[in-house]
Amino acid sequence: MRTLKTVPTLGLLAALALPLAHAAEGGATAEDATKMVKKGMAFIKASGAEKGYAEVSNKAGQFKYQDLYLVVYGLDGTVRAHGANEKMIGKNLIDLKDVDGKAFVRERVELAQSKGTFWQDYKFTNPETKKIEPKAMYCERLDDSVVCGGIYK
């Protein structure tokens, strides 16, 4: 009888430890995002847009680290590459808003045109937790596109 009570207790303890293990990892950092964007830009420049976008969109590729992935937008708001959701590729998201009503893609495109390199805050669904969370996105303009990588706060 004692064994039967222990097994569910161990299962419960293991389930409770999983979120703590993830929190201890902390997810990707601002430094990780900056490095990843620069690495992605260099890859796209060296390999060309077609190969570069394909690699950025590869969930098992080199541009995925913990909860960090890259996204490339054209300056019209059209997704050219997406490291977490390939269904977004080819869609114009210029009018997409976060839960607070912020048109973050429009703002991102405008910042790319005016600043070139920037951080942007908004809220977005974390693909790992499936919850809407505050996110900071680091972006750099590359010709007629903007390459971004974000971290969840």
DSSP assignment of 62-104, as one string? TTEETTEEEEEEETTSBEEEESS-GGGTT-B-TT---TT---H
Nearest to 57 by CA among 75, 40, 42, 33: 40
Report pLDDT for 129: 87
The architecture (CATH level 2) of 27-152 comes to: 2-Layer Sandwich (3.30)
Can you give the pTM of this predicted structure? 0.81
Q: Which amino acid is at 98?
A: D
Which residues have a Cβ under 8 Å from the Cβ of 69 and sit 6 or more positions away? 59, 63, 82, 83, 84, 127, 149
Q: Which of 145, 142, 152 is nearest to 121 (CA)?
A: 152
Query: What percentage of the chain has pLDDT greater than the value 90?
Result: 76
Render pLDDT for 53-75 as a digit per residue (tens, 0 to 9).
999 999 999 999 998 999 999 99
pLDDT of residue 68: 94
What mean pLDDT comes out for the span 33-56? 98
pLDDT for position 33: 97
Q: Summarize pLDDT for 130-152 with one digit per residue, the tens.
A: 899 999 999 999 999 999 999 99
The confidence score (pLDDT) of residue 78 equals 98
Using DSSP, how many helices (H) and how many strands (E) does the chain show? 4, 6
Question: Residue 20 has what pLDDT?
Answer: 30
**Rg of the chain on CA atoms, in Å:** 18
Say whether pLDDT at 122 is over 50: yes
